[in-house]
Amino acid sequence: MVKLGDTAPDFSLKDQNGEEFRLSDYRGKKVLLSFHPLAWTGICAQQMKDLEANYGRFEELNTIPVGISVDSVPCKKAWAEYLGLKKLKILADFWPHGEVARLYGVFRENNGFSERANIIVNEEGKIIFIKVYPIRELPDVEELLEFLEE
């Protein structure tokens, strides 16, 4: 598991539109990595909708939120359209299966998907926030925004 102060492992994943997202391309901004177990599940859907609804607030705090799960790009595309996501990128940690979740220490080997977790990377690429949630708990987006406002 990564720790506070660690340099965030760089990665590149495709988003729901098949476009490449590379973490290191966002140096100079904070990045919220919002891991969720699986698309098409209730809590995961609300987790992504909360990020979308607050996207402007994250931008004001120089932060790019992204969702990450082990689902494929076509699955992510259909789910993003279903949820009405317009700004939020949701990344496919599909192949190698769960590789980015493993890099960050949040992959659940016995389940084949990630923990529900939020990790914030600062402008210099250092990890400044880590929280792993019980799998059935919806993360509090206000807690994240308050942390970023400090």
Tally of domains in the chain:
1
Q: Which domain holds residue 131?
A: 12-149
Candidates 31, 39, 44, 119; catalytic one = 44
pTM: 0.98
CATH code where residue 83 lies: 3.40.30.10
Q: Which runs of consecutive H residues, i.e. helices, occur in the chain?
A: 42-53, 55-60, 73-83, 99-103, 141-149
Q: Comparing C-alpha atoms, which of 86, 101, 95 is closest to residue 37?
A: 101
Residue 4 inside a domain? The answer is no
Confidence bin at 59 (pLDDT 50/70/90): very high
Confidence bin at 44 (pLDDT 50/70/90): very high
What average pLDDT score do residues 51-66 get? 99
What average pLDDT score do residues 109-133 get? 98
Q: Comparing C-alpha atoms, which of 111, 114, 147 is closest to residue 132?
A: 114
* Residue appearing with tokens 């609300």: 46
Instruction: Quote the tokens at residue 30.
Output: 């904070």
Q: Which residues pair with 13 in a beta bridge?
A: 21
Q: How far does Cα 25 stand from its chain's mean position?
A: 16
Is residue 44 flagged as an active site residue? yes
Round to whole Å and give the CA distance between 30 and 132. 19
Residue 6 inside a domain? The answer is no
Confidence bin at 76 (pLDDT 50/70/90): very high
What average pLDDT score do residues 27-55 get? 98
What average pLDDT score do residues 137-141 get? 98
Q: Comparing C-alpha atoms, which of 66, 71, 56, 83 is closest to residue 114?
A: 71
